[in-house]
């Protein structure tokens, strides 16, 4: 195993997985006969000689749960001294790539939220990690309605603004962390991650040919918007401490297209963010020319990666031209100062950071966010 030293004691390198499924993560209970038996932990184990941390984690998850893992970025590293050993524990964000978890070694497993960790006695090395999880991913309200799921992350103070985001919970957690670092506590909005959506169906405004092999956009956005605004949002907001006075609809990629399209179809949202939005979508600029934006909309933010125009697909390669024209149409017809920001890089770069820039602009109505404007 890989070891170094701390205060004269050998330090064992240990890795573990923060495996997300929506707002819940996987916790495993150690076997009764092992040290720290029946305490809960994140699945993982020791790094063997010659292994990278990522490869060690993939191996441990295969051995202990019989799953294939996609390992993401480190979530946190902690150093902890047990009576019998000192460990440096690196926890990685991860997702199951293949298989269903099986109890090959542990006594039990559970999918829990950060708010539920107090009901599961964890190993002492995990205490700092759990505190960070509660800060980043806790204080939740969960709701299911209209065929989709939502997880609302409440701020410290009652909020008058809710940000609805068609993104996975992990991205929403990263967004929350960035906003927390950028805003005073009293300005933090409620962040709502909406999952369980079939993107090619529910976020496409009308049928169109797909851009990848086997893909087809089936044009179910009208039906989904009815369920989203008529069922999910009312059901969720009934659970909030305060009904939001303002709502931001933010989306990335096809969800960015949906966000801007929805601004023409509903008055539920007063601010819109289309971040790396699929505004190349067939017929969308004509739709904008032929329809009126909801008068409820008081702010719009558009952005794109400056290399997205280099896409190999000729339809997608029109995205910068299309987004620039969309910004021009919106400014001309609404009088709003609609920014079109160009971020560095291609489509999949810095997704939470790009969304955060959009949300911060809409929350502060300031263009001092550091991008260059097209």
- At 67, phi and psi to the nearest 5? -125, 150
CA 163, 206, 287, 254 torsion: positive or negative?
positive
What domains, with CATH codes, occur in the chain?
3-112 (3.90.79.10), 137-373 (3.40.50.1820)
pLDDT tens for residues 202-211?
999 999 999 9
- Tell which residue, 25, 92, 19, has the closest CA to residue 54: 92
What is the largest distance, in Å, between two alpha-carbon atoms of the chain? 73
Please give the pLDDT value at position 10.
87
pLDDT tens for residues 50-97?
999 999 999 999 999 999 999 999 999 999 999 888 999 999 999 999
pTM across the whole model: 0.91
**How many angstroms separate the CA atoms of 356 and 286, rounded?**
29
Please give the pLDDT value at position 34.
87
- At 62, phi and psi to the nearest 5? -70, -45
Distances in whole angstroms, Cα of residue 252 to Cα of each of 256, 259, 275:
4, 9, 5
Ranges of the chain with pLDDT below 70: 1-3, 5-8, 366-374
Token couple for 132:
């960070």
Token couple for 181:
């670092």
DSSP-assigned letters across all residues of 144-187 = EETTEEEEEE--SS--SEEEEE-S-HHHHHHHHHHHHHHS-GGG
């Amino acid at each position: 195993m890989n070891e170094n030293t701390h205060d004269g004691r050998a330090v064992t390198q240990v890795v573990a997985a923060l495996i997300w499924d929506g707002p819940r993560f996987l916790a495993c209970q150690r076997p009764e006969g092992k040290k720290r038996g029946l305490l809960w932990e994140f699945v993982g184990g020791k790094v063997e000689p010659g292994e990278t941390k990522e490869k060690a984690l993939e191996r441990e998850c295969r051995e202990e749960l019989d799953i294939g893992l996609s390992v993401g970025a480190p979530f946190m590293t902690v150093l902890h001294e047990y009576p019998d050993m000192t460990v440096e524990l690196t926890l990685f964000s991860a997702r199951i790539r293949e298989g269903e978890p099986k109890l090959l070694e542990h006594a039990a497993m559970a999918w829990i939220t950060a708010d539920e960790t107090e009901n599961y006695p964890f190993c002492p090395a995990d205490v700092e990690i759990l505190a960070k999880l509660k800060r980043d991913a806790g204080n939740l309200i969960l709701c299911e309605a209209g065929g989709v799921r939502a997880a609302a992350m409440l701020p410290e103070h009652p909020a008058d603004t809710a940000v609805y985001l068609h993104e996975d919970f992990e991205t929403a957690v990263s967004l929350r962390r960035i906003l927390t670092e950028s805003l005073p506590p009293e300005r933090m909005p409620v962040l709502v991650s909406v999952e369980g959506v079939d993107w090619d169906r529910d976020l496409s405004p009308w049928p169109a040919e797909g851009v990848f092999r086997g893909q087809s956009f089936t044009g179910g956005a009208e039906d989904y918007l009815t369920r989203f605004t008529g069922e999910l949002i009312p059901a969720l907001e009934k659970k909030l401490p305060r009904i939001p006075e303002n709502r931001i609809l933010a989306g990335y990629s096809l969800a960015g297209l949906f966000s801007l399209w929805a601004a023409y179809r509903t008055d539920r949202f007063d601010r819109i963010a289309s971040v790396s939005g699929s505004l190349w979508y067939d017929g969308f600029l004509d739709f904008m020319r032929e329809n009126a934006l909801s008068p409820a909309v008081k702010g719009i933010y558009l952005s794109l990666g400056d290399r997205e125009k280099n896409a190999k697909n000729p339809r997608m390669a029109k995205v910068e031209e299309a987004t620039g024209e969309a910004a021009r149409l919106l400014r001309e017809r609404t009088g709003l100062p609609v920014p079109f920001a160009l971020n560095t890089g291609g489509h999949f770069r810095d997704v939470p950071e790009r969304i955060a820039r959009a949300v911060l602009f809409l929350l502060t109505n300031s263009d001092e966010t550091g991008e260059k404007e097209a």
